[in-house]
Amino acid sequence: MRGRDILVPMPVTMDTLVSLCKRRGFIFQSSEIYGGTGSCYDYGPLGVELKQNIKRLLWRDFVQSRADMVGIDASILMHPTVWKASGHLDHFTDPMVDCRECKLRFRADDVDTLPWTHYCPATKGNKFTIPPGEPCSHCGARRTLCPDCGKGLLTAPRQFNLMFKTFMGPVEEDASVAYLRPETAQAMFVNFDNVLQSMRMKLPFGIAQAGRSFRNEITPGNFIFRTREFEQMEIEYFVNPRDTVEGRPADEYWHDRWIADCMAWFQRYGLREENLKLREHDKDELSHYSKRTVDIDYRFPIGWSELMGIANRTDFDLKQHAKFSGKSLTYFDEERKEHVVPYVVEPAMGVDRALLAFMADAYVEEEVRGEKRVVLRFHPELAPVKVAVLPLLKKRDEIVRRARAIRADLAKQWRVVYDDTAAIGRLYRRQDEVGTPYCVTVDVQTVGDSEKGEVGDGKVTIRDRDSMEQARVPIDALPAVFHDLLSGGVWAQVTARFERQIEK
């Protein structure tokens, strides 16, 4: 690579990502013109493409391509007893404390992790902001009051249920209470028998669902890392607890398989190994139904945090729903001639968190010939736009006409854009910044000059985002070349038979 220095490989700051997302149409604050809605975000034109690509790849790799997986798409509103049976009504709570003065609410376990406001008696009441957990360096006091206003006493912790409550039908009464689902998982348990019977599934098999979940988080924040409305993709993988695989209980074997598969999936689409790690839940941290839970943590701009969790939930959920519904939720083991309640391994992923991780990992600032270049090095399958078609001169009708025709042709297969709103160097940088892997440039040589009687060569310049190398390719070869490049082909190999050029 020529004359390039990586300026900011990692970690990129959250502020940089937030500003890029807004400026380039990935993510906007929800209802921004009204001052915004707390911790809700809208995906813009490029954000929606990126998010759909993530979901499409998840679905393709974890559902469509596997014989042991099927999918469902269930209602967000479910029977309220679902949440009683699942334990969410009684246990899906966070302890919270309120400031008696400013009324702000905090998660009890977060209070000591926040910087705190202090009016110091040793300095005539001057106001200081003190780092989390540290005492005041003037008077030695530790935080006892509200970390935000520094004046109010905090209430004792109270349990706060994170489910959003609403009412079904015209009457707001207890009998019509409904909840927005706080996870997608329960629909897979509730539909276990429907899927088993209709699809004649044999253990082990899994049911997947991707969709919105809602949690009235007390302390949402860090951009799309923790929001009150978010998307999940969850898999419930049912196994026969009496089976063994490679000498191990089937549930333990499959738990490890899913951990490895999920890790490999994130790396396959670009997350660097050094930014990923597994975190085993300690015994006292485990949910009461979980035999073992492992999180995949990612080095987000805010530090190491959970990207997804993979839990061995045993037979807890099916047994609970059988108990509360009175329906049998078992599997008939033909070999042993007995009914069993399957164990379940649950890989649970946040789509928005995955998107944030892919953006953070792809973000690079480089210096190219003395100028800063910002690049999102997205895997081509994730990139919101696959190809940008750019005319070298927008005043030449024939160049513009040809460029538009190329865009229309390639757009039959991929998301392809046309842009003529700046000079070529600027257009390349704009595409780099949103992660477009390839550009096509149509120039005078392509179309020739009819006034001078010159015939064009019918070739265009294609440019690789990462290496910035260029090759001269016949227009009619473009679909095949992009097919190879976008399905994992290596630039140097795919373009070896074409003439190479240097970026001007």
Rounded to a whole number of angstroms, the minimum distance from the CB of residue 14 to ligand ATP is 14
**Subset of residues 198 to 237 that bind ligand ATP, contact rule: CB under 6 A:** 215, 217, 226-227, 230, 232
**Between β-strands 303-314 and 363-368, what pairing exists: parallel, antiparallel or unpaired?**
unpaired
Task: Identify which of residues 53 and 213 has a Cβ nearer to ligand ATP in the complex.
Answer: 213
Which residues are within 8 A (CB) of 195 and not within 5 positions of it... i.e. 6 or more apart? 70, 72, 188, 201, 207
Nearest to 496 by CA among 475, 478, 481, 476: 481
- Alpha carbons 7 and 420: distance in angstroms, whole number: 29
User: How would you classify the pairing of strands 448-449 and 105-107?
Assistant: unpaired
Taking the least distance from each CB to ligand ATP, the nearer of 306 and 433 is 306
Quickly list H helices, 165-208.
Answer: 185-190, 192-199
Site string for ligand ATP, 395-434 (x = CB under 6 A): ----------------------------------------
**From the list 49, 98, 183, 252, which residue makes contact with ligand ATP (rule: CB under 6 A)?**
183
Amino acid letter, residue 482: F
Task: Give me the least distance between CB of 226 and ligand ATP, in Å please.
Answer: 4
CA–CA distance, 116 with 265 (Å, rounded to integer): 40
Cβ 435 to ligand ATP, closest distance in Å? 22
Task: Count helices and strands (H / E) in the chain.
Answer: 14, 31
Residue 227 or 431: the one with the smaller Cβ distance to ligand ATP is: 227
Query: What is the separation of C-alpha 383 from the centre of its chain, rounded to a whole number of angstroms?
Result: 13
Least CB distance to ligand ATP at residue 465 (A)? 28
Least distance from ligand ATP to the Cβ atom of residue 225, Å: 6
Q: Interacting stretch for ligand ATP, rule CB under 6 A, among 3-11, 164-172, 258-266, 342-350? A: 342-350
d(CA 436, CA 434): 6
State the Cα–Cα distance between residues 59 and 467, nearest whole angstrom.
31
Evaluate whether 448 touches 454 at the Cβ level (below 8 Å): yes
Tokens standing for 129?
Answer: 């902001």
CB of 183 to ligand ATP, least distance (A): 6
Site for ligand ATP in 269-328 (CB under 6 A): 306-309
Segments of 351-386 assigned E as strands = 363-368, 371-376
Q: Residues 377, 383, 386, 390: is their CA dihedral positive or negative?
A: negative
Beta carbons of 461 and 474 less than 8 angstroms apart: no
Q: 348 vs 416, which CB is nearer to ligand ATP?
A: 348
Nearest residue (CB) to ligand ATP, 148 versus 217: 217
Residue 42 is given by DSSP the state E
Report the residue closest to ligand ATP, judged by CB. 350
Q: Report how many residues bind ligand ATP under the rule CB under 6 A.
A: 16
From 124-132, 273-281, 346-354, 403-411, span contacting ligand ATP (CB under 6 A)? 346-354
Among 88, 143, 353, 459, contact with ligand ATP (rule: CB under 6 A):
353
Nearer to ligand ATP, 183 or 419 (CB): 183
DSSP bridge pairs for 306: 297
- Residues paired with 230 in a beta bridge: 213
Q: How many CA atoms lie within 13 A of 354 on its CB side?
A: 26
- Using the minimum distance from each CB to ligand ATP, give the nearer residue, 234 or 419: 234
Identity of the residue, 150 or 350, whose beta carbon is nearer to ligand ATP in the bound complex: 350
Task: Measure the CA–CA gap between 35 and 333, rounded to whole angstroms.
Answer: 58
* Nearest distance from C-beta of residue 133 to ligand ATP, angstroms: 20
Give min distance, CB of 259 to ligand ATP, in A: 13
Q: Which of 251, 352, 366, 419 binds ligand ATP (CB under 6 A)?
A: 352
Q: How far is the CB of 306 from ligand ATP (least distance, A)?
A: 5
Candidates 111, 196, 322, 348; binder of ligand ATP (CB under 6 A) is 348
Residues that bind ligand ATP (CB under 6 A): 183, 215, 217, 226-227, 230, 232, 306-309, 348-350, 352-353
